[in-house]
Amino acid sequence: PLLAATAEGAGAALPPHVLGIARARDASCSDPLDCTAAAVCFRRREGDGAPRVAFGGRDGIIRVAECDGKINAIVARAGVTGLPIETASFLGGSDEMMLTGRRPFLYTFDAASERVDKIPRVLGRSERSFAVHASCPRGRRVALLGDGGTVVLLDGRTRHWTADLRINGRVAALCFDADGGRLYAAGSDGDVYAFDADTGRCAGRWHDEDGTGVTALACVGTARG
């Protein structure tokens, strides 16, 4: 399902306990999935164009829709062989996407040309699954959830392995800040770690005090505000 800001929530100040949102038409209304949607991501468009939303699942089909909240017309669609899609992301502001699942190989998908390319494996890595990943908003890096507490960094252009970052416990969720300079990783120990994506140095660590295990992360803005 899609949620949209209400007229009250679009510009006016709301009390801190109120969310100004309303249910919009499903993103998949013009091309329903035959399985559970496992991956969803948005891309803003320049000017007044409607944002695009991409979604896919274990049927191995990625769909990209023009997200107007009414028709949500499909503008690109393709199947990826042998990959039940778990995570999808746009690489920077481009139409190119990264697709991963519980397999050792990856796919890229160009939503403009509908071209699909397979990356057979990440050279130098032995992981058998890359179900979770996060792409830098500027497209410079891709972070993959590796084995144990390892975050595997790839060059966003060459797709080559460049570095490892490590946390205590198992990595549960990843995200970059708005300029891609900071990477956040949530662990099974209930802590959220902040890394300098350029140096790999751990720049901060916060404990989830309510004891709830973190399963997803999103970042608004940058580490510098």
What is the 3-state secondary structure of 183-201?
EEEEECCCEEEEEECCCCC
Mean pLDDT, rounded, for 132-137: 94
Mean pLDDT, rounded, for 108-131: 95
Residue 49 pLDDT exceeds 80: no
Q: Is the pTM of this model over 0.95?
A: no
Residue 210 pLDDT exceeds 80: no
55-67 pLDDT, tens digit per residue, is 999 999 999 999 8
71-109 pLDDT, tens digit per residue, is 899 999 999 999 999 999 999 888 999 999 999 999 999
34-46 pLDDT, tens digit per residue, is 888 999 999 877 6
Residue 164 pLDDT exceeds 80: yes
Give the chain's mean pLDDT. 88
Q: Which residues are CB-contacts of 203 (< 8 A; sequence separation ≥ 6)?
A: 182, 194, 195, 196, 223
Q: Identify the CA nearest to 65 among candidates 92, 40, 101.
A: 40
Name the more confident of 68 and 129.
129
* Residue 63 and residue 72 in contact, taking contact as beta carbons nearer than 8 Å: no
Residue 5 pLDDT exceeds 70: no
